[in-house]
Amino acid sequence: MDVRPEAHIVASTGTVSRMVEKPRTKPGPDRHHLGFADAVSEAFGFLLGRGFRLVELSDTFARYETNRRFVRVFHGRGSYELGVEIGRWIEIDGTLHEQFFPLRDVVSLTTDLDTIGFGGTSATTEESVRKFITRLAAWTEQYGLELAANGDGLFDQLSQRNAARGAADRDVQRARLLRARADEAWRAQDFANVVNAYGEIDSELASVTLSASERAKLNYAVKALGKGS
């Protein structure tokens, strides 16, 4: 079903954010001279031919929309980093949200970022703003149009990949705590806690593998406990 909220939605730290009014804080007066708005209007004009409407344009932000998709182009007010996000509206528990992904994630679905030179796009001069906006627009047109035009399957694919990546990150953080616990137990010759900590990593954290030395400590602790029983 085509859905379009009447209010804009502020981006959260994740890929899904609840519908709220976007803050209206203004960038510094110097930002107009960097030519962001003109550069975006020229470079991203191809979206207008794809059914998008330009619904917002300022010295640091541009937003294009259809009834089902949106594309945001921004120039960080503190970082001066240029970026693009592509999103859709989804309903969760009866509330409308927007789900979006940075262009980096979209490109990396099919292309190694290093092969096209996808890197930092911090721009503090009019020349660099125009250069990077032109580059981001070309990547959006080449790699992001399928997602922006239809792309429900691609959105789901990106969601699943991000979920897997998030689970792997959580595994790494948990493993760091368990390894610290195992190291402390090893120094104290507390073999039961060595086994518990390394065993938890080995059996529960699918994306983490014990190193050879950790495996050796685990085996030693198991044997030591067996001798003591």
**CA–CA dist 200, 187 (Å, integer):** 19
Q: Which pLDDT value is given to residue 168?
A: 62
Distances (CA, A) of 35 to 47, 90, 103, 149, 198: 19, 33, 21, 28, 56
Residue 7 CB neighbours (<10 A): 10
The pLDDT tens digits for 150-201 are 767 788 888 777 665 656 667 678 888 889 999 999 999 999 988 998 988 8
Q: Which pLDDT value is given to residue 59?
A: 94
pTM of the shown model? 0.64
99 has pLDDT over 80: yes
Residue 93 has φ and ψ, to the nearest 5°, of 55, 40
The pLDDT tens digits for 126-155 are 999 999 999 999 999 999 888 887 767 788
More confident residue, 131 or 94: 131
User: What is the pLDDT averaged over residues 68-76?
Assistant: 93
22 has pLDDT over 90: no
More confident residue, 173 or 220: 220
Q: Which pLDDT value is given to residue 174?
A: 83
54 has pLDDT over 80: yes
The Cβ-side half-sphere exposure at 28, using a 13 Å CA radius, reads 10
Q: Which pLDDT value is given to residue 13?
A: 29
User: What is the pLDDT averaged over residues 27-41?
Assistant: 87
Q: How many residues in total does the chain contain?
A: 229
Q: Which pLDDT value is given to residue 165?
A: 64
- CA angle (211 as vertex; 210, 215 as ends), nearest 5: 70
Report the chain's mean pLDDT, rounded to a whole number. 82
Q: Which pLDDT value is given to residue 208?
A: 79
| Residue 29 pLDDT level (bands cut at 50, 70, 90) | low
More confident residue, 32 or 157: 32
Q: Which pLDDT value is given to residue 108?
A: 86
